[in-house]
């Protein structure tokens, strides 16, 4: 084949020279393509893997601290996990920073080299989605509730601005990555002889809550539809949440993973404390509304009997009362 009009009559030395140049050019191209991958692979392997618990065969959970974002915890304040099938891995939530996501990925890579096919976000809150950026280089399908993309777009600026000073250096590399695939109703994901049932719910903790159930082990990741230890946070509908809990309680599952709390909890007893707290808020708020007590007083007084039962109570209870008050006022 002719490279140009003269290549068939080149002297031997020139052909060798031209061949050597071609080889050099090819090597440079290969290096240019591979170098970033090699560098990022190095960066990944230098990350300390997150501590994870295998709560059922092939189902791993990392638990975050019951804290607000600080530079010290680097956003590691919520539960994340992954499920390994025969052909692929699914990640459920990515933590509150790219660093937390990278540590989770390192924990995955310590156990399998299978591709990370899905990254599922259970809902919009920064402590569950800020780690998404750590997985972009794996080219997974990002999956969320059909209302997640809109919710993230609406809050993106606020989430980034408000959390940058809280995370400090750990804010580095944080990106809002919306789902490429939106779930309405139920979808089944296949990890290779292992099916995950992903279900989008009506408004409860937020308006974009999703559960992920590993059918093989009857393990359900609940995201923040379930809090344990950490006081529940109402950012959707308190009535919707209580109704959803009643419906989910009938599901035949073996164990659940809360969005905040231990790696696994028994079902349906896992719901009891959260239901008690939310029921208490609803009962008291209805009473306060009926008596015409103003919100400012209600926010100070309602729920205080629950204070000892929960971590971060003072950070969220008054806000919960305000949100629920606004909802129940219009009954
Ligand atoms: Zn949440």
Q: Quick one: 105 and 240 in the same domain?
A: yes
Q: Quick one: 122 and 231 in the same domain?
A: yes
pLDDT value at 14 more than 70:
no
Q: Quick one: 169 and 35 in the same domain?
A: no
Q: Quick one: 269 and 171 in the same domain?
A: yes
Position 212 in a domain: yes
Q: What is the 123 CA–ligand 1 centroid distance (Å)?
A: 7
Q: Quick one: 113 and 26 in the same domain?
A: no
Per-residue model confidence as pLDDT tens digits over 161-174: 999 999 999 999 99
Q: What is the 56 CA–ligand 1 centroid distance (Å)?
A: 24
Per-residue model confidence as pLDDT tens digits over 94-148: 999 999 999 999 999 999 999 999 999 999 999 999 999 999 999 999 999 999 9
Position 257 in a domain: yes
Q: Quick one: 11 and 134 in the same domain?
A: no
pLDDT for residue 25: 54
Position 151 in a domain: yes
Q: What is the 9 CA–ligand 1 centroid distance (Å)?
A: 72
Choosing from 250, 274, 298, the residue where a domain stops is: 274
Q: What is the 24 CA–ligand 1 centroid distance (Å)?
A: 53
Q: Quick one: 33 and 57 in the same domain?
A: no
**Domain assignment of residue 261, given as a range:** 50-274
Position 330 in a domain: no
Choosing from 231, 253, 274, the residue where a domain stops is: 274
Position 300 in a domain: no
For the entire predicted model, the pTM comes to 0.86
Position 158 in a domain: yes
Residue 34 pLDDT class (50, 70, 90 cuts)? very low
Q: What is the 116 CA–ligand 1 centroid distance (Å)?
A: 24
Distance CA 77, CA 127 (A): 7
Q: Quick one: 61 and 164 in the same domain?
A: yes
Q: What is the 212 CA–ligand 1 centroid distance (Å)?
A: 15
* CATH code at position 114: 3.60.15.10
Partnered with residue 227 across adjacent β-strands are 260
Please state the rounded mean pLDDT for residues 26-47.
48
Q: Quick one: 37 and 55 in the same domain?
A: no
Q: What is the 223 CA–ligand 1 centroid distance (Å)?
A: 7
Q: What is the 293 CA–ligand 1 centroid distance (Å)?
A: 29
Position 11 in a domain: yes
Q: Quick one: 104 and 163 in the same domain?
A: yes
Position 249 in a domain: yes
Choosing from 255, 274, 293, the residue where a domain stops is: 274
Q: What is the 193 CA–ligand 1 centroid distance (Å)?
A: 31
Q: What is the 308 CA–ligand 1 centroid distance (Å)?
A: 21
pLDDT for residue 4: 37
Q: What is the 233 CA–ligand 1 centroid distance (Å)?
A: 7
Q: Quick one: 91 and 24 in the same domain?
A: no
In total, the chain counts a number of residues equal to 331
pLDDT value at 264 more than 50:
yes
Q: What is the 125 CA–ligand 1 centroid distance (Å)?
A: 5
Q: Quick one: 19 and 133 in the same domain?
A: no
Count of domains forming the chain: 2
| Residues 6 or more apart whose Cβ sits within 8 Å of residue 79 | 61, 62, 63, 64, 93, 257, 258, 259, 260, 261, 263
Own/partner long-range contacts of 236-240 (Cβ < 8 Å, ≥24 apart): 236/203, 236/204, 236/205, 236/206, 236/207, 236/209, 237/203, 237/204, 237/207, 237/327, 238/278, 238/281, 238/282, 238/320, 238/323, 238/324, 238/327, 238/328, 239/282, 239/327, 239/328, 240/202, 240/203, 240/204
Token pair 């009938």 is found at 250
Please state the rounded mean pLDDT for residues 66-78.
98
Q: Which of 151, 174, 150 is nearest to 162 (CA)?
A: 174
Residue 5 pLDDT class (50, 70, 90 cuts)? very low
């Amino acid at each position: 084949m002719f490279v140009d009009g003269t290549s068939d009559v080149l002297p031997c030395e020139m052909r060798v020279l031209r061949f050597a140049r071609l080889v050099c050019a090819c090597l440079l191209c290969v290096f240019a393509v591979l170098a970033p991958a090699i560098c990022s692979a190095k960066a990944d392997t230098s990350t300390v893997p997150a501590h994870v618990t295998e709560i059922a065969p092939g189902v791993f959970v990392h638990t975050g601290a019951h804290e607000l974002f600080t530079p010290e915890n680097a956003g590691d304040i919520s539960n994340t996990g992954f499920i390994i099938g025969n052909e692929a891995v699914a990640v459920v939530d990515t933590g509150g920073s790219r660093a937390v996501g990278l540590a989770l990925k390192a924990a995955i890579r310590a156990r399998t080299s299978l591709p990370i096919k899905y990254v599922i976000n259970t809902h919009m809150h920064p402590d569950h989605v800020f780690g998404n950026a750590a997985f972009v280089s794996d080219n997974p399908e990002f999956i969320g509730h059909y209302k997640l993309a809109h919710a993230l777009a609406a809050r993106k600026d606020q989430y980034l601005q408000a959390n940058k000073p809280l995370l400090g250096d750990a804010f580095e590399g944080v990106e809002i990555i919306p789902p490429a695939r939106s779930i309405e109703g139920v979808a089944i994901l296949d990890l290779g002889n292992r099916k995950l049932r992903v279900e989008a719910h009506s408004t409860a903790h937020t308006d974009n809550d999703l559960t992920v159930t590993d059918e093989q082990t009857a393990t359900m990741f609940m995201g923040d539809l379930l809090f344990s230890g950490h006081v529940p946070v109402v950012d959707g509908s308190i009535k919707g949440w209580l109704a959803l809990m009643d419906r989910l309680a009938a599901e035949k599952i073996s164990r659940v993973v809360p969005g905040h709390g231990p790696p696994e909890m028994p079902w349906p007893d896992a719901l009891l404390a959260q239901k008690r707290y939310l029921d208490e808020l609803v009962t008291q708020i209805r009473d306060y509304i009926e008596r015409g007590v103003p919100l400012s007083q209600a926010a100070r007084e309602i729920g205080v009997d629950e204070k000892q039962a929960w971590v971060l109570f003072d950070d969220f209870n008054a806000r919960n009362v305000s949100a629920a008050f606004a909802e129940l006022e219009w009954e």
